[in-house]
Copies of this chain bind each other. A is one copy, B any other.
Amino acid sequence: MLNERKIPSTSLEAEEADSIRALATQLRVDSIRCSTSAGSGHPTSSLSAADLMAVLLTRHLRYDWEHPALQNNDHLIFSKGHASPLLYSMYRAVGVVDEDELLNTYRRFGARLQGHPTPLLPWVDVATGSLGQGLPVAVGISLAGRSLDKLPFHTWVLCGDSELAEGSIWEAIDKASYYNLGNLTAVVDVNRLGQDGPTELQWDMESYARRVEAFGAEALIIDGHDLGQIDDALRRAQSDPDQPTVILAKTIKGKGVPEIEDQNGWHGKALPADMAEKAIAALGGPSNVKVSTHPPEAGTPAITPNAQAAVTLPRWQVGEKVATRAAFGAAVSALAVRPEVVVLDGEVGNSTHAGDFKNVASERYFEIFIAEQQLVAATIGLSVRGYVAFASSFAAFLVSRPFDFIRMAGVSEVNIRLVGTHAGVEIGQDGPSQMALEDIAAMRAVHSSTVLYPADAPSTAQLVSAMADIPGISYLRATRGAYPVIYGPDEQFFAGGCKVHGASLDDQVALIGAGVTLHECLSAAEELAQAGITARVIDLYSVKPIDVDTLRRTCLETGGRIVVAEDHYAQGGIGSAVLEALAGANTPKLHIALLAVRELPGSGEPQDLLNAAGISARHIVAAARGLLMD
C-alpha cells in the first residue's frame, strides 16, 4: 500500500518542462525581489513551493484571471498565507499584477499586496495567515461545488507542513472525506523547517501519509521539485470525484538559493540586498514569463439564488411561551424558500432547533458534527461561494471554540451568520461549562460584527430573517427557556434598533435588558409602578450596532438614571456597550447600575441562578430604587 502513495516520475514533454522550469525560476526570483524590496516577508517558504505552483498554474488550474467572480473558476487558497511572495509572483506571471506593484507596494501602507493575502485582491477568497484555516475553509467551498451548485470547479490549497499540527486541519480532512469532496486537493509543502526549528515530523512522509489516509483522503507522496511527479500527482488528484487528495510534497526550504537551502534561521526573513542580488543573478536574473492558464470548465449552477423570494415568517400569539431558539428554527426554516440559504449544525441541531431546517430542505443542511472550527470554516467557505449560510451550536461553544476563525472571517470581510443558543446562567442545570457568559464581549470586538439578542419569538424571527441580508458577521444569541411572546407580528426589528416600553417624559429611571433579562426588566417595571416609580424599559435587542440616539435621549429624560441587566459577565458585554454608546465629549450625567454575572455560577434552576447572579427582577428593582435615593 505504501508504494502506491508514491508517484512514479513521468517525463513531461521537454519543451513543456523547460517552460515550467522557467516559470518556477521566475517565481523564485520575484519572491526574493519583492520581499527584499519590502525588507520583510517569507521568501524561503515561497521558494520551497515554487515548483509545485508553477506546474499547477501552467497545467491544471482552470481560471479566468480577468473575471475572478466567475462561478466556474477553480479556487486557489494559500493556507500557508505567509508564502504571499509566491502567490503575488504567480499573479504577476498571469498578468494581473505588474512588476511595479509587486516590487514597490508589497507590504507597504495602503497596498493591496499585504503581508498575508486578503480578499482586497479579487483572486483571494479568504484571508489567511492564521495557520490551519485555509484548508477548512476550502472544505466549505468544495462542499458548495459538490453538493449545491454542482459546478465543475476544483479547489486547490497550498498548505505548510507546520500547520498540520493544528487540529483544524484534521477536522477538515475528516469532513472532506465524509462529504466525498473529490473536488478538493491539498498540496502540502513539506519543507521540514518551521519558524523556530524543525517541524514535529520533519520529512517523515510516511507518517503524514498514514494520517491522511486514516482520515479518509488519498495521500500522494512526491518530490516537490520533480516537475513530472508534481504533474502526475496534480492530475491524479482530479481523477476520483469522490475522494479528496492530499499531495505530500517533500521540498527544500529556500530551494534555489544554495547557501540558505534547508537552513534553520531563515524563516520569515527577507534576504539582505547583496545576498538577494547574488541569488537572483545565479537564478538567471529577472524574467518576464507569462502564463496562460486553462479557462474554467463550462457548467450551469444547480442553484439560483433568489433574495426576493417571499418569506412567510411564523407567527405567534402575544403571551404564548416560546423559546427564542425555537423561533430561530422556525424562522430559518421559513427562509428555506430562498435557494441560497444553507444551515450547518454542530451535532446539536435538536437543541438549537437548526434541525428544523432539515425537515424542509435536507439537501441544504450539513451536519459537521462536534467540530466547531470546521463548522464556522465551512460556513465561511459557503459564503465565499455566495450562499447565505447559518451555523449554529450552543453559544458557549460556537463563539469560543472557533473564535480564531470568526476573527479571521472579520479580516476576510465575508458574510456569515452565527446563532448561539443556550446562553448565560439561564440554561440552568447543565452548569457553567455550557453557559456562554463572554460571547457578547468577544463577538462585539470582532471586525464587521453585528450582535443581536432578542427576547421573544417574533423579534427573533424577524432578526433571523434580517441576518440573511446583513453584511459581515452577524451573531444572534438565543435563550434556552420559553418566555412569553411580547410583540405582535407587525412590529419591526432591525440591526441598530431597540424597543422602548412605556416611555413618558416623567420616567424616573430606564431599565435596559436583552434576551432573558428583558423579561426581568418588564417585571421590575411593573413592581416599580406599583410603588409609584415610573420606569421605562428598553429592549436592547441590537447590541451592535446600538441605538445611540435612543440611549442618549433616555439619559436626558431620566436624569441619567439607568439600570442595565445582562446574563453575561460584567466585562465588555451589554453594560459596556451602553457606556461606549453614551461616552463622548459631554457624556450625559449618569447614575447607572450595571447588573451582570460577577461570580462563577453553578448548576440550578434558571430562576435561582438569575437571582444568585443578581440580575433578576428584584435586583433590578433594588438597583432602580438605589439610583433614585442618591
Name A131's closest neighbour in chain B (CB-CB): B370
* Residue among A178, A404, A600, A603 with max Cβ neighbours from chain B (10 Å): A603
Which of A183-191, A295-303, A341-349 participates in binding chain B? A341-349
The chain A residues found within 8 Å of chain B, CB to CB, are 38-41, 81, 107-111, 114-116, 118, 120, 127-132, 162-163, 165-171, 174, 178, 194-197, 199-200, 207, 210-211, 213-216, 345, 347-351, 355, 367, 369-374, 396-397, 399-401, 403-404, 406-408, 410-411, 413, 429-434, 437-438, 441-442, 444-448, 544, 560, 568-573, 575-577, 579-580, 583-587, 589-594, 600, 602-605, 608-609, 612, 626-627, 630
Contact between B400 and A401 (Cβ–Cβ < 8 Å)? no
Given contacts A433-B127, A434-B129, contact A602 B445 (CB under 8 A): no
Contact at A438–B433, with CB atoms within 8 Å?
Answer: no
Query: Which of B397, B429, B585 meets A593, CB within 8 Å?
Result: B585
Residue from B167, B397, B400 in contact with A371 in the complex, judged by beta carbons closer than 8 Å = B167
A180 to chain B, nearest CB (A): 13
Q: How far is the CB of A248 from chain B (nearest CB, A)?
A: 13
Q: How far apart sit A369 and B589, CA to CA, in the bound complex (Å)?
A: 51
Contact of A111 among B111, B174, B602 (CB under 8 A): B602
Between-chain CB contacts (< 8 Å), 27 pairs: A40-B430, A109-B612, A116-B431, A129-B431, A162-B369, A165-B370, A166-B171, A167-B169, A167-B171, A196-B347, A196-B355, A197-B347, A199-B369, A200-B369, A210-B214, A400-B403, A401-B404, A411-B432, A411-B600, A437-B447, A441-B445, A442-B572, A560-B587, A579-B579, A585-B592, A586-B630, A589-B589
Q: Which residue from chain B places its CB closest to the CB of A596 in the assembled complex?
A: B580
Whether the Cβ atoms of A115 and B572 lie closer than 8 Å is no
**A430–B268 CA distance with the chains assembled, in angstroms:** 10
Out of B371, B434, B445, name the residue touching A438 (CB < 8 Å). Answer: B445
Q: How far is the CA of A396 from the CA of B130 in the complex (A)?
A: 8
In the complex, chain B residues whose CB is within 8 Å of the CB of A131? 370
A431 vs B120: C-alpha distance in the bound complex, in angstroms?
A: 12
A410 to B39, CA, bound (A): 41
Cβ-defined contact, B580 with A571, below 8 A: yes
Given contacts A115-B603, A438-B442, 20 further A-B contacts (CB under 8 A): A81-B433, A111-B603, A114-B602, A115-B434, A131-B370, A165-B347, A165-B370, A166-B167, A167-B167, A167-B168, A167-B373, A195-B348, A196-B349, A210-B210, A213-B214, A437-B447, A445-B573, A447-B569, A584-B592, A585-B626
